[in-house]
Structure 1
Amino acid sequence: MSGSAAGLRRAGFTRRALLGVVGLVAGLDRAVAAATEPLRAVPTGRDRLWLVRPDGSEVLSRFRDADGYDRTQILLLSWFMRDIRDDDRAVWMEPRLFDLLAGVQASMSAVHGAALPLTVTSGYRTLGHNASLENAARTSMHLYGYAADVQMRGYPPRAVALAASFFSEGGIGLYDTFTHLDVWRRRTWIERPPLR
């Protein structure tokens, strides 16, 4: 018996145990692949959204088809964008906002080479919640369901803003940790919203 094989035997390893470990690793590899398959297979397109919240909640939605917006999916997405800091209050979000978010997500996922979710840090805001925020515009588009603050893991806010600039007819605000996107009127700002 060779010295290395004897060393394996002395350590309590046998060829059969080694084959078992290899089989286990191969099995784990398949299990990991199966567990992550839904993440890799998430379709991206201008009619679909994959949104997550910082708390880990997420939604996958195909909100539009050849006939237009799917009202049930817009309702689902509107609920997802609710004000989680003020008693989960929600409004009907402007569907064009979802078009914008889907465009940003699809283009950035294409550049990345895999589907990436958008993290929503703020969607709809109640008047009370908005008033409690330092430097929030009194007439913020969040109050009307026209805006979202988003992040994309692995990309700086500038990259998200650049992607949005190809799709947006509305506002793009660049902040240190997120990008503000809305579908009101075209304007851009850095760090602080424009005076209205």
Structure 2
Amino acid sequence: MKKGEQTRQHIVQHAAPIFNTRGYSGTSIQDVLRETGLEKGGLYNHFKSKDELALESFDYAVQLLREAHKAAQQGRQGTLDRLQGIFEVTLRSAQGEILAGGCPILNVSVESDDTHPLLKEKAQQAAMSLQNFIAQVLAVGIKKGEMKPELDPEATARVLFALFEGGILLTKLHDNPAYLHDARTHMLALLKLYQQEA
């Protein structure tokens, strides 16, 4: 990797937790300069604007989530076990273990709803990607005969995604992971209704 690419990556890695914790409007270029140790000119050699840096920082945050989901699926068998892996990443994300500040999809969705259309679009894409991943897990479960064919993978994925993101929101609001654990309990109860009998 060339020095310029390394510096750009260094900036993004340090900026992403700031944006994710303080939000777009709450993050200043001075905050990023302080964290990266760069001068203003050095930063603007790599990013034309705060917008460009925020968008790339969000992409980086989402990539961290994807990598965590991929790692959490290793060695898992069966639909419910794979969904437990997705839940575990959700819990780790809510607790700031993957990136300081919690779930970047939720954070950007809440902040950028009416204020930053490009960030909102990226959050929509990331949310759809995760919903599609959940739907794929469910569809494989139906194909393998683990889940009943009347289970709708796409609709169920939307419900599970809403449960997870709502659980993250309430966990952060009340500083209590019980809300996410309740979401998992309801996820399992819902899916057990659609399990094929052995």
Q: Into which bin does the TM-score normalised by the smaller protein fall?
A: under 0.3
Q: TM-score, normalised by structure 1?
A: 0.26
Q: TM-score, normalised by structure 2?
A: 0.26
> Which of the pair is proportionally richer in strand?
1
For the pair shown, the structure with the greater C-alpha radius of gyration is 1
